Amino acid sequence: MSINPRQTTESRQAEIIATMVRLSAERSPAEITTTDIAKAMGVTQGALFRHFATKEAIRLAVVEWIDEHLMFELLAAKERSTDALAALKAMFMAHVGFAKAHPGAPRLIFGELQQPNASPVKQRVQQIMQRYRQTLSQTLAAAIEAKLIRADADCPSAAALFLGAIQGLVIQSMLSGNTEQMEQQAVGVLELYLAALGVKS
């Protein structure tokens, strides 16, 4: 079939990653087989192993894709904000928007959480989250500096609550399957979060 010509490894890798993320939106990532991915791509199962050595390599590449694209969105949100407080709001909504645009992404991350500590993929996730929390802490500190939020707010706790608020919303949407509702509820939760930082609505 001419629908499916030969392609470069680079483009196939991207396609495999995209397919994995897409399929993860509906099914448990752990249960997605190489056959599933291949079928969704219109290619035979063995072909995948031309582009990734093992399935674990696919999982790692997917996690890296998520990191790259989420961080891009967060940075963009931050840069289009005029101050640190606006940046926090924009990052919050950008993260929720990312989860809505790619519902498979959080499922993949949650799946990797389950893995034993030694797993390289999990270590990558660990690193990603740590960096994220650091960025948040910095932005929070900047907001304190600019007197936009309470001076006595504990930055690490505030960063943890920021992430938790989003994760809670994502978990709820995973249960209901309704990402629309998640985005709506995000507004209310964000407002409450900001109140914790001493921001009046």
Partner DNA sequence: CTAGTAAGTAATTTAATACTTACAAGCGCC
Partner DNA sequence: GGCGCTTGTAAGTATTAAATTACTTACTAG
Residues that bind DNA (CB under 7 A): 4-9, 12, 31, 33-36, 38, 42-47, 49-51, 53-56
> How far apart are CB 50 and DNA at their closest, in Å?
5
Which residues in 97-126 contact its own copies (CB under 8 A)? 107, 110-111, 113-117, 122, 125-126
Residue tagged 């396609």 (tokens): 15
Using the minimum distance from each CB to DNA, give the nearer residue, 2 or 82: 2
Using the minimum distance from each CB to DNA, give the nearer residue, 28 or 172: 28
Cα–Cα distance, 162 to 200 (Å, whole number):
17
Using the minimum distance from each CB to its own copies, give the nearer residue, 84 or 108: 108
- 3-state class percentages of the chain: helix first, strand second, coil last, to nearest 5: 75, 0, 25
End-to-end C-alpha distance for the chain, whole angstroms: 59
Cα–Cα distance, 73 to 95 (Å, whole number):
8
Segment contacting its own copies (CB under 8 A): 15-23, 68-76, 137-145, 181-189? 181-189
DSSP 132-167: HHHHHHHHHHHHHHTTSS-TT--HHHHHHHHHHHHH
Footprint on this chain of its own copies (rule: CB under 8 A): 26-31, 107, 110-111, 113-117, 122, 125-126, 129, 150, 153-154, 156-158, 160-161, 163-169, 171-172, 174-177, 185, 188-189, 191-193, 195-198
